Amino acid sequence: MMKNDYARVAVATPVVSPADVSANLAAVTSLFDRACDEGADAVVFPELCLTGCTCGDLFFHPSLLAASEDALREFAAHSAGRLGTLAVVGLPFRTAGRMFNCAALVRSGSLLALVPKSFPSSSRDGGDARWFASALDVAECEVECAGFRVPFGAGIVVDAPEASYGVEVGADIASAVSPSVGLALSGATVILNPCAKPSLAGGAEHSRALVAAQSAKCVAAYVSANAGFGESTTDFVFAGGGVVAENGAVVAEAERFRREGVVTVSDVDVGFLEFERSSNASFRRGAAADARHVAVTGGAERRVAKGTAPRRPVDPRPFVPVSKDERDARCAEVLAIQAAGLATRLARVGCRDVVVGLSGGLDSALALLVCVEAFGSLGLDRRGIHVYTLPGFGTSSRTRGNAGLLCDGLGIEMETADITGLVRLHLKDLGRDETEKDVTYENAQARGRTYFLMDKANQLGALLVGTGDLSELALGWCTYNGDHMSMYCVNAGVPKTLIRAIVGWYAEGHPEVRDALVGILETPVSPELLPAASDGSIAQITEDRVGPYELHDFFLYHFIRRGAGREKIRALAETAFGGVYDPETISKWLDVFFRRFMTQQFKRSCMPDGPKTGTVGLSPRGDWQMPSDAGRVAF
């Protein structure tokens, strides 16, 4: 069954009063209506919310059980006026002489199923095994409850138009054999977890990490709602809150310690989850549990329309962490991966020298820093790093100056090899006039540089280190058998936005090269293959030709990593870059991205070796395989 791209989920924490079922029903109903008004497809309430989770031995009393079942019947009737929203509410339920801590699944006037908790706890932190039996003890497949005969047990999946939902109760998430794993393998893309965990120091962070990890393990969205204000504080405090996570990433959190009812709404990307599952071989090999499926229809008016942005934050730079601490850690790790890759290659081939073409731009600057780090790890003398600057018709004094300043700071000698004579001779052999500033004129320079660097590497018994990056490979913005080729390409797995972040981070920690790197960061990205302007400034600006790299990296991430199509990417970009680029500009460069990506695979099909550093890679040896002559599919 095809699902919509997004499902809208809500975490609802009502103010409860232990054992006052009528008051609790009113609080739950009020928050349910608020969630429906905000377009929620599913809303999860805390564990035992109709009675309160702190009723103690009152759970055994028939009056409380009858009142909670009556409340469930009334709530189900109320939901008939809110078509299409699935609600998960908690209550105690007794059958066959045993008491169960249950989650009731209610939608469009009907009770769909009752899911009992599988692993009641005897923990000192609010254990409930004193009162409740385990779902593992269930003998009945169906029960009568609130006037409905419904499936009863842990393995139940509700298949709705927007997503497939599974439910596990409370601390079941922390068990070694948590039901959510079987539910996910049976097709549930969204796991709903009514929870009642007391607030302890460090507990919120632990719960957040647990929900995020379980969502990654299940390749699912995981939505957890915790009990809050109003529960008894005899021994514990319940702070409320909740977490919405998606495949390991937290996308929304509910505020804790609120003294009123709280509803937190977020959209989860079901389209991405299904894409991830279909491309994840280890997930596909998992054995599905013997789940029972309940199919429901309708409610399409609540679904997030295709081509619209989700109700959740959209990061404009998905390759670069937002917080400085995380960003610094990412930059350090990526540089370490690059350096380790190069060091291993040098050690394996018995090579103690490298050749680097240094343009004074971002990519070659990072490649040189990688060489420095690799040589340091191997204990090699930096004199084995042979740096050449190769001025051509378009080389500016600014980039040459930055290149020289960087080498001075690193204590590395830089040699100059002017390629203009070589290129003029080549153009003459081709019968071309130097005044024709076309693609042949440009690529002759790019290949001339590679021609020199390859031969110099042979002469020195060195390894030619490539400088091209992931963003350029995606767009094919490289000259085939020119800067496209090297003996080991250290930047092949690093997108341009992350390269900029790494260079900036390195500058902060290395005062000896700070001025040089800042100058490089402030220089427009350019291949410098066209003569400089009359004032000596760079005439050929890459981002004027192919578009902003921050947009292209955003497009690349959502296309490759999250399986998004054109309209979904466009809507996401309009949200992420609102106020920076207008919709027309985003659409223009998105068209350029797809056109270039689909026509430039032939360059990626024969790209040199280089280390993968993140979740997106384009190596034809495993990361990305497609025909070089693929049609222009309308994604």
CATH code, domain with 265: 3.60.110.10
User: Same structural domain for residues 431 and 293?
Assistant: no
In a domain, 370, yes or no: yes
User: Same structural domain for residues 273 and 172?
Assistant: yes
In a domain, 29, yes or no: yes
> What backbone phi and psi angles, to 5 degrees, belong to 148?
-125, 145
Would the CA dihedral through 627, 628, 630, 635 be positive or negative? positive
Q: Residue 157 — left, alpha, or beta (φ > 0 → left; ψ -120 to 50 → alpha)? A: beta
Nearest of 7, 26, 6 to residue 16 by alpha carbon = 26
User: Same structural domain for residues 390 and 476?
Assistant: yes
Amino acid at 489: C
User: Same structural domain for residues 298 and 354?
Assistant: no
Choosing from 270, 302, 334, the residue where a domain stops is: 302
> What backbone phi and psi angles, to 5 degrees, belong to 535?
-90, 10
Number of folded domains that form the chain: 2
Between helices 324-349 and 362-378, what is the axis angle to 10°? 60
In a domain, 520, yes or no: yes
In a domain, 308, yes or no: no
Range of the domain at 519: 324-543+600-604
Which pLDDT value is given to residue 309? Answer: 74
In a domain, 93, yes or no: yes
User: Same structural domain for residues 270 and 338?
Assistant: no
Which pLDDT value is given to residue 2? Answer: 42
Between helices 549-556 and 566-576, what is the axis angle to 10°? 130
Tell me the β-bridge partners of 12. 263
User: Same structural domain for residues 266 and 372?
Assistant: no
pLDDT along the chain (635 residues), means of 10: 74 95 97 95 97 91 95 96 93 93 96 95 75 85 94 94 95 91 95 91 90 96 94 85 96 92 96 92 73 83 64 94 96 98 97 96 97 98 97 81 94 94 88 85 89 96 97 95 95 98 97 96 78 67 89 97 93 95 97 95 95 95 90 64
Query: CB within 8 A of 546, min separation 6: which ones?
Result: 475, 477, 552, 589, 592, 596
User: Same structural domain for residues 181 and 261?
Assistant: yes
Is there a contact between 180 and 113 (Cβ–Cβ < 8 Å)?
no
Choosing from 242, 272, 302, the residue where a domain stops is: 302
Other CB atoms within 10 Å distance of the CB of residue 176: 5
Is there a contact between 358 and 365 (Cβ–Cβ < 8 Å)?
yes
CATH number at residue 536: 3.40.50.620
In a domain, 96, yes or no: yes
Other CB atoms within 10 Å distance of the CB of residue 345: 20
In a domain, 518, yes or no: yes
User: Same structural domain for residues 108 and 173?
Assistant: yes
User: Same structural domain for residues 480 and 355?
Assistant: yes
In a domain, 572, yes or no: no
User: Same structural domain for residues 75 and 107?
Assistant: yes
What's the pTM? 0.90
Is there a contact between 59 and 109 (Cβ–Cβ < 8 Å)?
no
d(CA 39, CA 215): 23
d(CA 290, CA 301): 32
User: Same structural domain for residues 203 and 268?
Assistant: yes
Residue with tokens 């960003």: 327
User: Same structural domain for residues 46 and 169?
Assistant: yes
Choosing from 245, 271, 302, the residue where a domain stops is: 302
User: Is 146 buried (19+), middle (13-18) or exposed (0-12) by CB count in 10 A?
Assistant: buried
User: Is 548 buried (19+), middle (13-18) or exposed (0-12) by CB count in 10 A?
Assistant: buried
Helical residues (DSSP H) of 240-286, grouped into ranges? 270-279, 281-284
Which pLDDT value is given to residue 432? Answer: 86
